[in-house]
Chains A and B, each alone.
Chain A
Amino acid sequence: MAHREQLRLNAESDTTTLEKRAAHVSERAKWMRKRLLGMIVDAGQGHPGGDLSATDIIASLYFDILRIDPAVPRAADRDRFVMSKGHCTGALYSALAGADFFPEDELATYLKPLSRLNGHPNRTYLPGVETNTGPLGHGFPIAVGIAVAGQIDNADYRVFALTGDGELQEGSMWEAAMFAGHRGLGNLTVIVDRNRLQQGAGTEETNGLEPLADKWRAFGWDVVELDGHNVPALLAAFDDAVAPRTKPRCIIANTIKGKGVSFMQNQAGWHHGVPSAEQYAQALAELSA
Chain B
Amino acid sequence: MSAVAVSSGMFDCRDAYVRTVQELAEADPRIVAVVNDSVGSSKLGKFRERFPDRLINVGIAEQNMVSVSAGLANGGKIPFVSGAGCFLTARAMEQIKVDCAYSHANVKLCGISSGVAYGELGATHHSIEDVAWLRAVDKLTIIVPADPWQTAEAIKAAAAHDGPVFIKISRMPVPELAREGAEFVIGKAETLREGDDLAIIANGTLVHRALAAAEALADDGIAARVVNMATVSPIDEAAIAAAAATGAIVTAEEGLARGGLGGAIAEYCARHDPVRMRMIGFPGFAPTGSADWLMEHFGLSATGIAGAARELLGLKAAG
Enumerate chain A interface residues (CB-CB to B < 8 A).
76, 80, 122-124, 130-135, 137-138, 141-150, 152-153, 155, 171-172, 175-176, 178-179, 182
| Interface contact B67-A152, CB-CB below 8 Å | no
Interchain Cβ contacts under 8 Å between A and B, 19 examples: A76-B76, A131-B105, A134-B98, A138-B98, A138-B99, A141-B67, A143-B71, A145-B68, A145-B71, A145-B75, A148-B56, A149-B75, A149-B76, A153-B76, A171-B63, A172-B67, A175-B63, A176-B67, A176-B68
| Interface contact B102-A149, CB-CB below 8 Å | no
| Interface contact A145-B74, CB-CB below 8 Å | yes
Q: How far is the CA of A258 from the CA of B58 in the complex (A)?
A: 37
| Interface contact B64-A175, CB-CB below 8 Å | yes
Given contacts A123-B103, A124-B103, contact A131 B74 (CB under 8 A): yes
| Interface contact B61-A148, CB-CB below 8 Å | no
Name the 9 nearest CB pairs between A and B, nearest first: A145-B71, A149-B75, A141-B67, A145-B68, A175-B64, A175-B61, A146-B71, A142-B71, A132-B103
Given contacts A152-B32, A152-B54, contact A146 B72 (CB under 8 A): yes
| Smallest CB separation, B194 vs chain A (Å) | 42
Most A CB contacts (10 A, CB to CB) among B67, B95, B102, B103 go to B67
Which residues of A sit under 8 angstroms from B70, Cβ to Cβ? Answer: 131, 142, 145
* B59 nearest in chain A by CB position: A179
Which residues of B sit under 8 angstroms from A143, Cβ to Cβ? Answer: 71
| Smallest CB separation, B200 vs chain A (Å) | 38
| Interface contact B103-A150, CB-CB below 8 Å | no
| Interface contact B61-A179, CB-CB below 8 Å | yes
Which residues of A sit under 8 angstroms from B105, Cβ to Cβ? Answer: 131
Q: Is B69 an interface residue (CB 8 A)?
A: yes
| Interface contact B74-A172, CB-CB below 8 Å | no
- Once A and B bind, how many residue pairs between them come within 8 Å at the CB atom? 99
Q: Is B94 an interface residue (CB 8 A)?
A: yes
| Smallest CB separation, A117 vs chain B (Å) | 16
Which residues of B sit under 8 angstroms from A134, Cβ to Cβ? Answer: 98
| Smallest CB separation, B103 vs chain A (Å) | 4
| Interface contact B104-A124, CB-CB below 8 Å | yes
| Smallest CB separation, A243 vs chain B (Å) | 21
Q: State which of B59, B72, B98 has its C-beta within 8 Å of the C-beta of A135.
A: B98
Given contacts A123-B103, A132-B102, contact A138 B75 (CB under 8 A): no
Which residues of B sit under 8 angstroms from A145, Cβ to Cβ? Answer: 67-75
Which residues of A sit under 8 angstroms from B61, Cβ to Cβ? Answer: 175, 178-179
Enumerate chain B interface residues (CB-CB to A < 8 A).
32, 53-54, 56, 58-59, 61, 63-64, 67-77, 94-95, 98-99, 102-105
Q: How far is the CA of A147 from the CA of B98 in the complex (A)?
A: 19
| Smallest CB separation, A34 vs chain B (Å) | 31
Q: How far is the CA of A178 from the CA of B95 in the complex (A)?
A: 18
Which residues of A sit under 8 angstroms from B56, Cβ to Cβ? Answer: 148
Given contacts A175-B58, A175-B64, contact A142 B75 (CB under 8 A): no
Given contacts A138-B95, A145-B74, A172-B63, contact A179 B68 (CB under 8 A): yes
Q: State which of A122, A144, A150, A153 has its C-beta within 8 Å of the C-beta of B67.
A: A144
Q: How far is the CA of A182 from the CA of B58 in the complex (A)?
A: 9
A sample of 9 more A-B contacts (CB under 8 A), given A132-B102, A153-B76, is A76-B76, A143-B71, A145-B69, A145-B74, A146-B74, A148-B68, A152-B54, A172-B95, A176-B64
* A161 nearest in chain B by CB position: B71
Which residues of A sit under 8 angstroms from B71, Cβ to Cβ? Answer: 131, 141-149
| Interface contact A144-B95, CB-CB below 8 Å | no
Q: How far is the CA of A76 from the CA of B30 in the complex (A)?
A: 13
* B77 nearest in chain A by CB position: A149
Given contacts A130-B74, A146-B74, A172-B63, contact A141 B68 (CB under 8 A): yes
Q: How far is the CA of A209 from the CA of B42 in the complex (A)?
A: 37
| Smallest CB separation, A253 vs chain B (Å) | 22
Q: How far is the CA of A147 from the CA of B104 in the complex (A)?
A: 19
| Interface contact B74-A142, CB-CB below 8 Å | yes
| Interface contact A131-B72, CB-CB below 8 Å | no
Which residues of B sit under 8 angstroms from A153, Cβ to Cβ? Answer: 75-76
| Smallest CB separation, B230 vs chain A (Å) | 27
Q: How far is the CA of A76 from the CA of B95 in the complex (A)?
A: 24
Q: How far is the CA of A137 from the CA of B99 in the complex (A)?
A: 11
| Interface contact B98-A132, CB-CB below 8 Å | yes
Q: How far is the CA of A178 from the CA of B63 in the complex (A)?
A: 13
| Smallest CB separation, A242 vs chain B (Å) | 18
Q: State which of B59, B64, B103 has its C-beta within 8 Å of the C-beta of A131.
A: B103
Q: How far is the CA of A171 from the CA of B91 in the complex (A)?
A: 12
| Smallest CB separation, B66 vs chain A (Å) | 8
* A124 nearest in chain B by CB position: B104
Q: How far is the CA of A146 from the CA of B75 in the complex (A)?
A: 5
